[in-house]
Amino acid sequence: MTVSNDGKWIDKKISRRDMLKLTGMGVAGVAIGASGLGGVMKVMGYDVFEPVADSTTAVNKVDFYGKHQSGIITPVQTNIYFASLDVLFTSKKELQELFKQWTPLVVRLMNGELMVDLTKNTRVPTGDTGEADGLDASNLSITIGVGPSLFDKLGIQHLKPEELKDLPHFPKDQLQKEFTGGDLCIQACADDPQVAFHAVRNLVRAASGKVEIKWSQAGFNSFPAGGGSPRNLFAFKDGTVNPSSTDEKDLNKVVWVDKGWLKGGSYLVARKIQMHLETWDRTSLKDQEATFGRYRDSGAPFGKKKEFDDFDVEAKDSNGEYIMPDTSHVHLARKSGARILRRSYSYASGVMTNTGTHDAGLLFISFQKDPAQFTTVQNSLGRMDKMNEYITHRGSAVFACLPGVSKGSYIGEALFNAL
C-alpha cells in the first residue's frame, strides 16, 4: 500500500489492515473513492493506494505490469472491444484519481477475477456486473490512451506531445462525428468476446459520473489452423507485414516512443472502415487480387508463393510492367517507406438502415512511435489506391497510449510526474 497527501508515493509495503491499526480507525473511518470501486481510499485525509499483483496461477493470463502496456505487442487475440471516452471533469487531479482508481481494477480484470468482491447485500447494486464470472482470463489485455482533446479540456496543453494531434483529412474520407475523436480510449482484447466487453463495461461503470462512452466498436479475428494472418471480410489476409514482437531493436524504431513522459508508450490510430461487401462480392477474383496485390488463397504478394515472402515493389515483368499493380493497396503502402504495427479486427454490426447494406468492415488499429508514420502511409494510398472503390472511412481517432506500469505505481504516473 502507498500513502500520499500530495500525489507522491511514500511507502509501498504498508498493508490496508496495518494502516487502519496505525491510524486507530475501523472500517467506519475509511472512505473508498466516490464510486466505492476504486483502488484509492481516504484515511485521515491521506490517499491510500492499494496495488494488486499479477496472478501467478491464473489461466490464459497476460501480465499487466511491465515496461510497456499490454495489448500492443501482445499476441493478437480473437476479440476486441474498443471504446472512445469523453471525460466529464476539468481538472488534472481528477484524471490522476481516475487512473489510480482504474489501475488495481485493470489488474484484477486481467487476472480473470471479478473487478471487486461481490457484496453479500443483495439490496444494493453489485460492484461487478458479473457476466465474466466463471470465465478464465482469456488472455485479456487492456490498453489505456489519452487523446489530444484531453489536454485542452484539462488546461495542460504544455504537456501535450507535439506529435499528438488530430489526423488530417484524407482523400475519400467520409468521417462521421459520432465515430471520431475522444479524450480517452480503452482497448480491451481477449480470446472471449464477453471478457473483452465486460472489461470496458465495468471500467466505465466504475468511473460513473467521470467519463462517458463517445463511441465504441466490437470486433473479431479468426486464425487459420495452419498459422498465418487472419482474413478480413474481403477474405484476404490482414496484417502480414508487421515488425516482429520479439525484435526489440525494430520495435524501438517503429513502435515505442523514446522521449519525454511518454517514453515507453506508443501512439494508437483507430479508423472505422466500412467495407462495401455487396460491391466486392460482384468483383472477379482477378480484380480482387489486383486490388490487394496479393493472391487470396496463399496471401503471397504477386510473383511470390508464400504469405511472408519479401518482395521488391519496383519489380517488373518481361514486358516492363509492374508485377504488383501500381494502384494496388500493398504496392502503394510499401512505396510510402513508412512502417507501422497493425492490430486490426473485423466487425459486423447488422445492416445500414438507410440502404439495407451490411454495416461491416474493419476496425483498423495501428501502433507507431509517431502518428506521422500512419499519415505517410495513408497519403501514399491517396486517391490512387484501388481499394477506395470498395471501402469508406467512417471513423477516426488518435491516442497516446501511456507507458507501462511498474509494481506499486499506477497508470499514467509519468504524465503526472511531469506536471
**Mean pLDDT confidence for 139-154:** 98
At 19 the pLDDT is 45
For residue range 201-215, what is the model confidence (pLDDT) as tens digits? 999 999 999 999 999
Instruction: Give the domain range for residue 11.
Output: 1-50
Beta strands in 369-409 (DSSP E): 391-401
- Asked if 234 and 52 count as a contact pair (C-beta separation under 8 A), the reply is no
Q: Phi and psi of 151, rounded to 5°?
A: -65, -35
For residue range 80-132, what is the model confidence (pLDDT) as tens digits? 999 999 999 999 999 999 999 999 999 999 999 998 877 777 888 888 999 99
At 125 the pLDDT is 87
Domain co-membership, 390 together with 243: yes
At 353 the pLDDT is 73
At 10 the pLDDT is 41
95 within some domain: yes
At 415 the pLDDT is 97
387 within some domain: yes
Domain co-membership, 246 together with 132: yes
- CA–CA dist 143, 135 (Å, integer): 20
Domain co-membership, 46 together with 65: no
Domain co-membership, 282 together with 340: yes
- Asked if 71 and 143 count as a contact pair (C-beta separation under 8 A), the reply is yes
Write down the residue that cell numbers 482469456 correspond to: 138
Domain co-membership, 235 together with 357: yes
Three-class SS of residue 192? coil
Domain co-membership, 315 together with 389: yes
271 within some domain: yes
- CA–CA dist 367, 188 (Å, integer): 15
- Residue 123 neighbours by CB distance under 10 Å: 5
For residue range 19-65, what is the model confidence (pLDDT) as tens digits? 444 444 443 333 444 344 446 655 444 455 678 999 999 999 999 99
Domain co-membership, 44 together with 72: no
Number of domains in the chain: 2
**Which pTM value belongs to this model?**
0.89
50's grid cell: 492499494
146's grid cell: 489519452
Cα→Cα distances 89→160, 173, 183, 274, 419, Å:
18, 31, 11, 33, 18
Q: Which residues contact 393 (CB under 8 A, 6 or more apart)?
A: 170, 172, 173, 174, 175, 271, 272, 273, 274
55 within some domain: no
- Residue 195 neighbours by CB distance under 10 Å: 26
For residue range 213-249, what is the model confidence (pLDDT) as tens digits? 999 999 999 998 888 899 999 999 998 889 999 999 9
- CA–CA dist 211, 220 (Å, integer): 26
233 within some domain: yes
- Asked if 33 and 208 count as a contact pair (C-beta separation under 8 A), the reply is no
- CA–CA dist 365, 217 (Å, integer): 12
